[in-house]
Amino acid sequence: MTQISQRIQQMAASATLAMSARSAELREAGVDVINLSVGEPDFNTPHHIKEAAKQAIDDNYTFYTPVPGYMSLRRAIADYFNRLDSLSLDPAQIVVSTGAKQALCNVILATVNPGDEVIIPTPAWVSYMEMVKLAEGVPVTVPAAIEQDFKITPDQLRSAITPRTRMIMLCSPSNPSGSIYTRAELQSLVDVLADYPDILILSDEIYRHINYTGTYTSLATFPAVADRVVVINGVSKAYAMTGWRIGFMAGPLSVAKAVTKLQGQYTSGTSSIAQKAAEAAYTGPQECVEEMRVAFERRRNLVYHLACEIPGLKVREPQGAFYLFPEVSAYFGLHTPDGQTIADANDLAMYLLTDGHVATVSGDAFGLPGYLRLSYATSDDRLTEAFARIAAALSRLK
Ligand code: PMP
Ligand code: GLU
Q: If you measure from the C-alpha of residue 146 to the centroid of ligand 1, how many angstroms do you get, rounded to a whole number? A: 22
Which residues have C-beta atoms less than 6 Å from ligand 1?
Answer: 39, 99-101, 125, 171, 175, 204, 206, 234, 236, 242, 247
- pLDDT digit string, tens, across residues 107-152: 999 999 999 999 999 999 999 999 999 999 999 999 999 999 999 9
Number of H helices, E strands in the chain: 13, 12
pLDDT at 250 over 90: yes
Q: If you measure from the C-alpha of residue 332 to the centroid of ligand 1, how many angstroms do you get, rounded to a whole number? A: 30
Name the amino acid, one letter, at 81. Answer: F
Q: Which ligand number lies closest to the CA of residue 278?
A: 1
Tally Cβ neighbours within 10 Å of residue 254: 11
**Would you call 107 exposed, middle or buried from its count of C-beta atoms within 10 A (0-12, 13-18, 19+)?**
buried
- pLDDT digit string, tens, across residues 142-188: 999 999 999 999 999 999 999 999 999 999 999 999 999 999 999 99
- pLDDT digit string, tens, across residues 46-64: 999 999 999 999 999 999 9
Q: What's the chain's average pLDDT?
A: 97
pLDDT at 276 over 90: yes
pLDDT at 53: 98
pLDDT at 319 over 90: yes
Kindly state the average pLDDT of the residues 229-251. 98
Residue 231's pLDDT band (cuts 50, 70, 90): very high
Torsions phi, psi for 363 (to 5 deg): -60, -20
Q: How far apart are CA 353 and CA 338, in angstroms?
A: 15
- 189, 181 contact by CB (below 8 A): yes
pLDDT at 219: 98
Q: How far apart are CA 249 and CA 99, in angstroms?
A: 10
Kindly state the average pLDDT of the residues 279-300. 98
Q: If you measure from the C-alpha of residue 100 to the centroid of ligand 1, how many angstroms do you get, rounded to a whole number? A: 5
pLDDT at 1: 87
pLDDT at 21: 87
* Atom of ligand 2 at shortest range from CA of 14: 9
Q: If you measure from the C-alpha of residue 39 to the centroid of ligand 2, how many angstroms do you get, rounded to a whole number? A: 5
Q: Which residues have CB under 8 Å from 316's CB, separation 6+?
A: 146, 149, 150, 177, 179, 325
* Atom of ligand 2 at shortest range from CA of 236: 1
Q: If you measure from the C-alpha of residue 243 to the centroid of ligand 1, how many angstroms do you get, rounded to a whole number? A: 11
Q: Is the pTM of this model over 0.85?
A: yes
For ligand 1, mutation pick of 16, 125, 129, 179 (most atoms within 8 Å of CB): 125
- pLDDT digit string, tens, across residues 324-339: 999 999 999 999 999 9
pLDDT at 83 over 90: yes
Give the 3-state secondary structure of residue 32: coil
Strands (E), the chain: 34-35, 94-97, 117-122, 138-143, 165-171, 200-204, 229-234, 247-250, 323-324, 358-359, 361-362, 372-375
pLDDT at 149: 98
* Atom of ligand 1 at shortest range from CA of 39: 8
**Measuring from atom 12 of ligand 1, which residue has the nearest CA?**
100
Q: If you measure from the C-alpha of residue 318 to the centroid of ligand 1, how many angstroms do you get, rounded to a whole number? A: 18
Kindly state the average pLDDT of the residues 235-256. 98
pLDDT at 14: 87
pLDDT at 266 over 90: yes
pLDDT > 70 fraction of the chain, expressed in percent and rounded: 100
pLDDT at 4 over 90: yes
Q: Which ligand number lies closest to the CA of residue 20?
A: 2
Tally Cβ neighbours within 10 Å of residue 91: 20
For ligand 2, mutation pick of 40, 131, 376 (most atoms within 8 Å of CB): 40
Q: If you measure from the C-alpha of residue 104 to the centroid of ligand 1, how many angstroms do you get, rounded to a whole number? A: 9
